[in-house]
Structure 1
């Protein structure tokens, strides 16, 4: 079966742009807590200050991450970017083998971020509960919904193939 060219797969152009951005954002935002960089105070460093601004206003769990949260951010800083690069290349080249890794990735995001992190932020220990749920959701809901949309996109056996 022949694959459609990228210009005929408009939804894949959307995923191409979004996951290219995810490569950058996961390296910028999740690397700092994983490495134990203190961003609990404003800083002259742009990356530290960006994380402080986000965490202070929307995400106390991210501001003072427990050890288990550093594992979550470690996945996002060191494992997910490898997937993002492969996904971007696969979308451009029309490599259908990316379907199974996409399903695994989307499932992991839904469980780890959607259930565990959101659960702690809204129902967990009081010191980690967000005081600004709308801002937290505005920042974080896309990181759960977009992988779920990818999961829906990859549901067919040959996601980039032409349908006759």
Structure 2
């Protein structure tokens, strides 16, 4: 069995580690607040509340007053994906094999919940939920579907850290 390459020789893994570290932060800021019922329908001077207000007001009005199903999706991100992001970043940096199956499960869930359900409601749902700016919505949310798909491609090999991508 060959040894895993050091991180400096696995540039794609460094990219993923940085991006999923950022996803960790967005899970805390964007997904935790609606899950626990914080009202961000108007600016308050609190950075976290105002960040969610700005996003919802400009790109995704449905997010400002999330229905129960959306609070379940954000709760999954805040309490399910967040711990996974921490483990994933650790495994990417350290080159720990064994993260492949959890990465596949995660990517599948993201494509299903965000890619199909959330995008479907945004673009094909009730017109009252589609009052945001579709270009801004895509700019904010498409990376959350595309990056997990790229991770899925990256994790397709049994020992992904032993050779360059």
User: TM-score interval w.r.t. the shorter chain?
Assistant: over 0.9
CA deviations over 1:68-118 (Å, ceiling 9, x no partner): 100000011111111001001101111110000000000000000000000
Is the Cα–Cα contact under 8 Å of residues 57 and 132 in structure 2 kept in the other structure? no
Which residue pairs with 1:61 in the alignment? 62
Extract unaligned runs of 5+ from structure 2.
none
**Deviation per residue, 1:8-48 (Å, 9 max, x gap):** 10100000100111111111111110001111112111111
- The RMSD of aligned alpha carbons is 1.0
The gaps in structure 1 that reach 5 residues or longer are none
The CA deviation at 1:162 is: 3.3
Asked if the contact 1:122–1:130 (Cα under 8 Å) also holds between the matched residues in 2, the reply is no
**Alpha-carbon contact 2:59-2:136 (below 8 Å) kept:** yes
Q: CA deviation at 1:131?
A: 3.0
- Write out the 4+ residue segments of structure 1 that deviate beyond 3 Å after TM superposition: none
Report whether the alignment pairs 1:13 with 2:43: no
* TM-score, scaled relative to structure 1: 0.96
Q: Deviations over 1:99-157 (max 9, x none)?
A: 00000000000000000000000000112114310000000000110000100110111
Give the length in aligned residue pairs: 163
